[in-house]
Structure 1
């Protein structure tokens, strides 16, 4: 029986193909330099956890200006070699992320070359992303990259330190200095969520259309639970105090300075809109003030929390859709810190604060119906989160208000989905397909050759409470050598991708 993929136990690969041309052209007035920057965003979450998002960016001049000579003290050589995969090409002059009119055999060859190279680079089984399993192109959901985009998932692949170590080796200072030194393996992998990303792009000058350089972005997002033994005090309202935390308490390390090769090194603390609203209300209701001036604009002398380090700058969200409070961002520069004076940002809560984080308009989940190991039904359910904001000027009380949801689903070739059995329910009542499905693109699976692909553009009433889609399927017979390891636990189907293109929210 097919199963949903386990949370955080999958590898996702989205790649756009690249063509390297041998055309020679001149670059005039190019000021694109070799640079590296590092950033860390920290954000307390309402469920008593902390989100940490590391972002590293390395930029390099275009390969056409180096005349084949390039130093790799900053930009990783392994990634520079991926910049052009055509061994017959001369010094490359242009990189394209969208490829048009390329024969299918060339596309498959490029994909196979990419997956095998990345598999050895990141110690992952990316080479198993073959055309017969889990990759396809989006048509509507990810413009303007549609057509040249390849999407694949490995739902059974566990993300572990074997993937993080080669990822860190691409950084100039690795994990020896700078913000990356916080990435202690036990601290990272005991978290509730872990995601790492690598993105290689080529930028262009809008005025002349001349290539200005290549950009390598590396991002790591983790959600950690601070130790709450010392902050388990319960108030009269039976609300527990949020756990206080610091960098040293959640990562086990302090920041002893920036990476010496980094042009900029900053740490940010974000207080989202719902939290700011509660803190401002607490400030109005409570006359307690303290000597710690952590900022201005509503949070100055706030009795709800205390910061161990005074921020260098404060930013307030502008041009938001909401009429209420906006989110606040504190900036800390790591320039002046060293091993003798390490940076250890800490947040101490003084009173219990309860808030809600920004949410999507619908909460979606996927599950299986039926019994047995041969037939069944895939169901995707939507539950309204009762949001009244973010609908781009529409009045959710009106019958004409529609919420668009785009669904992209890939199933392995051995899952035979009967797309004509699609049924749609809104608030428990069956609906005509034409009333909800605005567009539909289906590519049936082909045995051992292609997976099945389904894309839907749905329009739900904004005032609905729940909706569901169902599709019947059969599971095909596999050869003995086609079964995955430990097949007794079942077969994993890649997660569906659901986006709300007409909905906007604010942090």
Structure 2
């Protein structure tokens, strides 16, 4: 009985949950969101843990050694089109994004931040080692802790984005190795790199945060969430049909659940997209149907429980298929309440303008939004040109924080709290001047342009339907990442497009041409002239030859052969 109780205690200390959410998008695409949550009832910061079972040891020791309170890392290829795809469960900007909250006991945050980025660069085979002071900022209003936090001293926060980072298979492989079952069993079997990267959007993330162990919140547990979102363009690849299946998207089917998982489910969004009902037909029949209010709207999900014994009785594999009973009317595409876009204005290579458009499509509710802008130092912002126009009138921000850049040391940081009136478009513009870099500071392809990271929008969007408090352990994972404030609104964090700006670029081919021409002139002209001036010529008289030559001529004379 003693070993059995000890084993049960170890099972209660850590638990694994896995979910797959399949959502048909209004444009005909399909979004697949994987979430794997590992929860561990341990005190990681004190370093009193020596045995790791489900929680990855590499990340656990990293949290304990560097005093990390929260860690959020995202690697994304592509851009989530909020205007056409709707609100994602968790959006990330193109490239690499890293933001970390450190413990108050950390004395040198910058040193810990640099060491952390280098270690994560090695773990995930990414270029996070390029994170330095020139692309790191300290936000004051955005990126509040998502887990338990005793204080919110923003000096313990660091945020950085590498918009040029390219995500590939070498980043996916270490991400899958952090899973307790790897990619050998459960939902992770579908993570085939060949199919995942043949998509319109791919984003993988790692989130580590402290959470309450129970309802009383007297003890703290550590939560690791590994999320992966991918968007398949099934409509164009399926010969004009919006029907899809697991095998069609991933080239694989589900055969079993991860033996270490306490919960493994597949959710399929079967909510009607318009007023007509019964548009979707899902096969095989789901084990249950779940209704929930997600992002202010009522959703209906078909649930497949991989741990249910009856699921694999009829067949050895699960291949979820969704068919449309009749063509969907694309003219009634829903518009999200909050979405934004950004672009670069102006002409020439001296000055320019950054324009951001924020849309609030709610018919009668106004709400504030926090805008975070991070601009590299080589774009010199003119803050006096900042204008915010809403419905033809000036919209003054209620809070503004600006940290000017320092050349080759830190970027610009601009944070504003802006009130968005109902059914309005807010235009934010600010002018900048392009700096001339040193010739050693240009990348290998300078004519491609320089990337500017995405703007970040954080807001509490009014909910259409009142949301009720639900148990986090019983609700799906895709509804419990962001903490909910009340039932009338939900938290949304959006990212705009990254910008590609051209800087004054010297003609790097000119030195090569000059070197080639100079070497040719020196070798051909000056070299020949120098040889004529320095070479000494001697006239060599023909010699009569030695004894051997005379003997040879005598022999040739007797033979009748001409002499030498």
> For this structure pair, what is the TM-score category when the shorter chain's length is used for normalisation?
0.7 to 0.9
2:387 is equivalent to residue 423 of structure 1: yes
Query: How far apart in 2 are the matches of 1:248 and 1:86?
Result: 43
Alignment correspondent of 2:418:
458
Pairs within 5 Å for 1:187-202: 187-202=195-210
Runs of at least 5 residues in structure 2 that lack an aligned partner in the other structure: 1-8, 68-99, 146-151, 466-478, 480-564
2:308 is equivalent to residue 306 of structure 1: no
Q: Alignment RMSD, CA only?
A: 3.0
Pairs within 5 Å for 1:267-282: 267-272=266-271, 275=273, 277-280=274-277
Query: How far apart in 2 are the matches of 1:321 and 1:308?
Result: 28
Pairs within 5 Å for 1:366-405: 366-383=342-359, 386-388=361-363, 396=364, 402-405=366-369
What CA deviation, in whole Å up to 9, does each residue of 1:332-390 have, x standing for no partner?
11123569610111011221123656644344211112222232111112345x433xx
- Given that 2:163 and 2:451 are in contact with CA atoms closer than 8 Å, whether structure 1 keeps it comes out as yes
| Partner SS state of residue 436, structure 1 | coil
Choose 107-116 or 55-64, whichever is displaced more.
55-64
Alignment correspondent of 2:462:
503
2:85 is equivalent to residue 85 of structure 1: no
Alignment correspondent of 1:49:
29
What CA deviation, in whole Å up to 9, does each residue of 1:15-67 have, x standing for no partner?
xxxxxxxxxxxxxx999512212110111111111110000011223147999
2:439 to 455, 465, 480: 480
Query: How far apart in 2 are the matches of 1:442 and 1:66?
Result: 36
Alignment correspondent of 2:329:
354
2:119 is equivalent to residue 159 of structure 1: no
Task: Flag the structure with larger Rg.
Answer: 2
Query: How far apart in 1 are the matches of 2:49 and 2:333?
Result: 49
The alpha-carbon distance between structure 1 residues 421 and 307, as it changes in their structure 2 partners (threshold 3 A), is same
Alignment correspondent of 2:40:
60
Query: How far apart in 1 are the matches of 2:23 and 2:131?
Result: 34
Shift of residue 196, structure 1, vs aligned partner: 0.7
Alignment correspondent of 1:171:
179
The alpha-carbon distance between structure 1 residues 357 and 72, as it changes in their structure 2 partners (threshold 3 A), is farther
- The structure, 1 or 2, with the larger RCO (C-alpha pairs under 8 Å, 6+ apart) is 1
The alpha-carbon distance between structure 1 residues 139 and 360, as it changes in their structure 2 partners (threshold 3 A), is farther
With normalisation by structure 2, the TM-score equals: 0.67
Q: How many residues align?
A: 415
Alignment correspondent of 1:11:
none
The alpha-carbon distance between structure 1 residues 80 and 357, as it changes in their structure 2 partners (threshold 3 A), is farther
| Partner SS state of residue 317, structure 1 | strand
- Given that 2:42 and 2:49 are in contact with CA atoms closer than 8 Å, whether structure 1 keeps it comes out as no
| Partner SS state of residue 65, structure 2 | coil
1:330 to 283, 298, 302: 302
Alignment correspondent of 2:79:
none
The alpha-carbon distance between structure 1 residues 229 and 41, as it changes in their structure 2 partners (threshold 3 A), is closer
What CA deviation, in whole Å up to 9, does each residue of 1:406-450 have, x standing for no partner?
2100111222111111122234x3x44xx4322111000011221
Query: How far apart in 2 are the matches of 1:208 and 1:467?
Result: 43
What CA deviation, in whole Å up to 9, does each residue of 1:316-346 have, x standing for no partner?
2359967xxx320111111235696101110
Runs of at least 5 residues in structure 1 that lack an aligned partner in the other structure: 1-28, 88-95, 233-241, 281-301, 389-395
Shift of residue 112, structure 1, vs aligned partner: 0.5
2:396 is equivalent to residue 436 of structure 1: yes
- Given that 1:138 and 1:146 are in contact with CA atoms closer than 8 Å, whether structure 2 keeps it comes out as no
1:414 to 366, 372, 378: 378
What CA deviation, in whole Å up to 9, does each residue of 1:250-274 have, x standing for no partner?
11000011111111111011134x5
| Partner SS state of residue 478, structure 1 | coil
- Given that 1:436 and 1:460 are in contact with CA atoms closer than 8 Å, whether structure 2 keeps it comes out as no
Query: How far apart in 1 are the matches of 2:312 and 2:153?
Result: 46
Shift of residue 114, structure 1, vs aligned partner: 0.6
- Given that 1:278 and 1:354 are in contact with CA atoms closer than 8 Å, whether structure 2 keeps it comes out as no
Shift of residue 484, structure 1, vs aligned partner: 2.7
| Partner SS state of residue 13, structure 2 | coil
Query: How far apart in 1 are the matches of 2:47 and 2:459?
Result: 45
Query: How far apart in 2 are the matches of 1:375 and 1:368?
Result: 11
- Given that 2:19 and 2:266 are in contact with CA atoms closer than 8 Å, whether structure 1 keeps it comes out as yes
Tell me which protein shows more helix as a share of its residues.
2
Alignment correspondent of 1:215:
223
Query: How far apart in 2 are the matches of 1:499 and 1:403?
Result: 11
